[in-house]
């Protein structure tokens, strides 16, 4: 019963907190409706016995009472539904918010690198909409439980052996739990291929990827791979559901045998004169009700079990996110940097892997300097940037800011002083002001601040292109918004970074890798002009990441990464004179552009 209780306890508590009057009203109406059901059986017994004894007046009263009970049975559940349906919707919204908080409630990104976390998150998102009906299922199960107790008491008054009829419903429920466990294991075993098949389906139906797939004639191979993954997942799920169905059928057969035995018992008593015809009608009516109760309870029980698994998975998500939560310290981030950012023997490997991406990094980034990180793909440049931003913590070593370990700052406080523009910058299909203003959320409605950031990013042409200006919608997925080019989206990403107030670290992580050298140089120049201003007023460090050595030659410090280690570090002239890797690659790239 652990899984069921996992769903019931928080659900009832949340519903009562959300709307105590609505919750109490729904419970009261449901209970009255469920109690009307065994009352109908008792009233039918009264009608039968009165009719056989010739008491016409009594028959009329019993008939009217039966009709009233039937109306209550049918109508009270409907009125209860009006109350608990809204509570169910509010409960689903609360769980969605909780899921968002679990996924995004930690400054770090380590939990996103866990396949188990990804599978759990996919399963929770997949089943979250079902929790809307979960409150209804829980309340109805409670009503059925009360109804079953009343039914058992009435049956016991007919014959003590008949008390066992509701007890006969226990094996089907226990067997149903076992069946649901098989389905749950099937879902978890198929989570990865289901997630992958949905990813492939997304690639085959998204406008930004379909054009390449079509030109490369890759749709059929991709769809075949999607089909293989979907077939593999379906095979696991079909086998799990088939075994579960057989188990449930066996449990229901056990109850059917007990049901038949109970009817034979009372028929035998009626033939022997120990029971009335009304008693036989009562038994048959109650037995039909118990049968309905069992069938309904099994369906509701499965629903509550599934809801319980969703709550359990959400709890496991919380645990996994908490394993990587950066508690941080209470040391305030300096208003201005006067010393340097220093890396001392920094090493890092991603969660779940023992392979170091960075190892033994000793590096000093002086306050107010511009630093260029260069190297081949996989050298560790982007990983080092994530460490500097505080998204990950070093596996070994430490990062100091003006002599204070980055761990001693609150992680959110340090991130608030970082202004990033990444290669995979976000394309936020929101209002233009929101797309830019999210860089400083408190200034989203400040027209002057948003326009200033766009001017510094040279995004005036984007502003002129968007109907409605700052209040115009971007993108076509959620309305008739302005469609932008990749370069224009990138310009807005730069404006978003320039919204950040008083940054101590500015990051430009290969945002122009798809551009030619001249266009990339223009992007660096735009970002660099703001960097020079931050350097003078805040002592900010600006980090550029690029494959093109020619773009970063003006940096104060150039760091060449190779295989997760620092191969060379120094100024352009110093590295050229050294005749090492930087000098060789710079000469090679310069030759290409001559």
Question: pLDDT, tens digit, for every residue of 217-271?
Answer: 777 777 888 888 888 888 888 888 888 888 888 877 877 777 677 667 666 666 6
Do 163 and 255 fall into the same domain? yes
* Candidate from 47-51, 99-103, 141-145, 512-516 with smallest mean pLDDT: 512-516
* Candidate from 324-328, 395-399, 415-419 with smallest mean pLDDT: 324-328
Between the two ends of the chain, the Cα-to-Cα distance in Å is: 75
Q: What are phi and psi of 437, to 5 degrees?
A: -65, -20
Comparing 40 with 128, which gets the higher pLDDT? 40
Question: pLDDT, tens digit, for every residue of 413-428?
Answer: 888 889 888 877 788 8
Do 139 and 164 fall into the same domain? yes
Q: Are 11 and 135 in contact (CB under 8 A)?
A: yes
Comparing 357 with 189, which gets the higher pLDDT? 357
Please check whether residue 477 lies inside any domain of the structure.
yes
User: What would the mean pLDDT of 349-359 be, rounded to a whole number?
Assistant: 85
pLDDT in the model for residue 365: 94
In the chain, the number of structural domains is 3
Rounded-to-integer distance, Cα 64 and Cα 190, Å: 56
User: What would the mean pLDDT of 85-114 be, rounded to a whole number?
Assistant: 74
Please determine, for residue 373, whether its predicted confidence score (pLDDT) is greater than 80.
yes
C-alpha angle 115-120-126 in degrees, rounded to nearest 5: 125
Q: Are 324 and 351 in contact (CB under 8 A)?
A: yes
Comparing 400 with 88, which gets the higher pLDDT? 400
On average, the pLDDT of the chain sits at: 80
pLDDT in the model for residue 215: 63
Do 110 and 210 fall into the same domain? yes
Please determine, for residue 484, whether its predicted confidence score (pLDDT) is greater than 60.
yes
User: What would the mean pLDDT of 102-130 be, rounded to a whole number?
Assistant: 74
344 pLDDT band, cuts 50/70/90, is: very high
Tokens standing for residue 82:
């009006």
26 pLDDT band, cuts 50/70/90, is: confident
Do 390 and 453 fall into the same domain? no
Do 180 and 149 fall into the same domain? yes
Do 118 and 191 fall into the same domain? yes
* Candidate from 146-150, 363-367, 405-409 with smallest mean pLDDT: 146-150
User: What would the mean pLDDT of 155-164 be, rounded to a whole number?
Assistant: 72
pLDDT in the model for residue 4: 60
Which residue range is the domain that position 578 belongs to? 332-417+504-594
Rounded-to-integer distance, Cα 412 and Cα 326, Å: 9
Q: How much of the chain is in helix, strand and coil states, percent to nearest 5? A: 70, 10, 20
514 pLDDT band, cuts 50/70/90, is: very low
Do 203 and 281 fall into the same domain? yes
Q: Are 117 and 317 in contact (CB under 8 A)?
A: yes
Do 467 and 516 fall into the same domain? no
User: What would the mean pLDDT of 283-288 be, rounded to a whole number?
Assistant: 74
User: Bridge partners of 565?
Assistant: 562
Do 136 and 278 fall into the same domain? yes
Rounded-to-integer distance, Cα 174 and Cα 181, Å: 11
CATH number for 382: 3.40.50.300
Comparing 315 with 393, which gets the higher pLDDT? 393
pLDDT in the model for residue 401: 94
What's the half-sphere exposure (Cβ side, CA atoms, 13 Å) at 555? Answer: 30
Rounded-to-integer distance, Cα 25 and Cα 19, Å: 10
Most confident residue range from 129-133, 442-446, 544-548: 442-446
Instruction: Look at residues 289, 322, 355 and tell me which one is the last residue of a structural domain.
Output: 322
User: Bridge partners of 342?
Assistant: 364, 400
pLDDT in the model for residue 482: 85
pLDDT in the model for residue 397: 94
Question: pLDDT, tens digit, for every residue of 405-415?
Answer: 988 887 678 88
**Pairing state between β 418-422 and 505-509:** parallel
Q: Are 407 and 579 in contact (CB under 8 A)?
A: no
Do 144 and 60 fall into the same domain? yes
Dump the DSSP string for 333-389.
PPSS--SEEEEEEEEE--TT--S-SEEEEEEEEETT-EEEEE-STTSSHHHHHHHHH
pLDDT in the model for residue 347: 94
Q: Measuring CA to CA, which residue among 337, 333, 332 is closest to residue 535? A: 337
Tokens standing for residue 491:
């310009």
Please check whether residue 116 lies inside any domain of the structure.
yes
Comparing 380 with 275, which gets the higher pLDDT? 380
pLDDT in the model for residue 519: 57
Please check whether residue 327 lies inside any domain of the structure.
no
Question: pLDDT, tens digit, for every residue of 167-223?
Answer: 676 777 778 778 877 888 888 888 888 888 888 887 777 766 766 676 667 777 778
566 pLDDT band, cuts 50/70/90, is: very high
Do 479 and 492 fall into the same domain? yes
Do 128 and 144 fall into the same domain? yes
């Amino acid at each position: 019963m652990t899984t069921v209780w996992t769903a019931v306890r928080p659900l009832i508590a949340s519903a009562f907190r959300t709307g105590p009057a609505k919750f109490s009203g729904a419970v009261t109406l449901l209970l009255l409706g469920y109690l009307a059901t065994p009352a109908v059986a008792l009233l039918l017994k009264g009608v039968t016995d009165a009719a056989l004894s010739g008491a016409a007046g009594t028959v009329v009263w019993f008939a009217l009472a039966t009709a009233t009970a039937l109306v209550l049975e049918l109508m009270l559940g409907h009125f209860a539904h009006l109350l608990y349906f809204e509570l169910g919707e509010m409960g689903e919204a609360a769980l969605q918010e909780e899921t968002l908080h679990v996924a995004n409630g930690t400054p770090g990104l380590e939990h996103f690198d866990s396949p188990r976390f990804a599978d759990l998150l996919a399963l929770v998102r997949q089943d979250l909409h079902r929790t809307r009906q979960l409150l209804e299922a829980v309340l109805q199960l409670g009503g059925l439980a009360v109804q079953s107790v009343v039914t058992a008491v009435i049956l016991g008054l007919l014959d003590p052996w008949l008390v066992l009829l509701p007890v006969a419903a226990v094996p089907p429920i226990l067997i149903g739990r076992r069946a649901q466990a098989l389905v749950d294991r099937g879902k978890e075993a198929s989570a990865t291929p289901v997630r992958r098949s949905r990813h492939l389906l997304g690639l085959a139906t998204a406008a930004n990827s379909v054009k390449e797939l079509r030109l490369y004639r890759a749709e059929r191979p991709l769809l075949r791979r999607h089909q293989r993954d979907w077939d593999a997942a379906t095979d696991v799920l079909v086998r799990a559901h088939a075994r579960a169905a057989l188990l449930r059928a066996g449990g229901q057969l056990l109850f059917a045998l007990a049901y038949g035995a109970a009817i034979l018992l009372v028929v035998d008593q009626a033939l022997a004169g120990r029971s009335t015809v009304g008693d036989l009608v009562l038994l048959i009516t109650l037995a039909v009700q118990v049968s309905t109760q069992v069938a309904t309870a099994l369906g509701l029980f499965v629903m509550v079990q599934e809801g319980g698994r969703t709550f359990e998975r959400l709890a496991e998500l919380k645990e996994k996110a908490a394993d990587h939560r950066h508690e941080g310290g209470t040391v305030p981030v300096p208003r201005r940097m006067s010393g340097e950012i220093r890396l001392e023997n920094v090493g890092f490997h991603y969660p779940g892997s023992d392979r170091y991406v960075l190892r033994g990094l000793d590096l000093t980034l002086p306050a107010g300097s511009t630093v260029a990180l260069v190297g081949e793909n996989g050298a560790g440049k982007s990983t080092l940037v994530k460490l500097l931003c505080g998204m990950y913590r070093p596996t070994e070593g430490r990062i100091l800011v003006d002599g204070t370990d980055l761990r001693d700052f609150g992680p959110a406080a340090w991130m608030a002083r970082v202004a990033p523009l990444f290669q995979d910058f976000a394309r936020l299909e929101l209002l233009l002001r929101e797309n830019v203003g999210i860089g400083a959320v408190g200034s989203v409605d400040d027209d002057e601040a948003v326009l200033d950031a766009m001017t510094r990013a040279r995004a005036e042409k984007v502003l002129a292109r968007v109907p409605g200006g700052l209040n115009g919608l971007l993108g076509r997925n959620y309305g008739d918004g302005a469609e932008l080019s990749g370069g224009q989206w990138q310009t807005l990403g730069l404006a978003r970074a320039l919204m950040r107030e008083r940054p101590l670290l500015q990051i430009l992580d290969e945002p122009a890798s798809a551009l030619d050298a001249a266009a990339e140089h223009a992007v660096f120049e735009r970002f660099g002009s703001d960097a020079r201003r931050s350097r003078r007023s805040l002592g900010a460090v600006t980090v550029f990441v690029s494959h093109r050595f020619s773009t970063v030659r003006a940096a104060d410090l150039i760091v060449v990464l190779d295989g997760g280690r620092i191969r060379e570090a120094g100024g352009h002239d110093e590295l050229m004179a050294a005749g090492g890797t930087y000098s060789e690659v710079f000469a090679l790239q310069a030759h290409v552009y001559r």
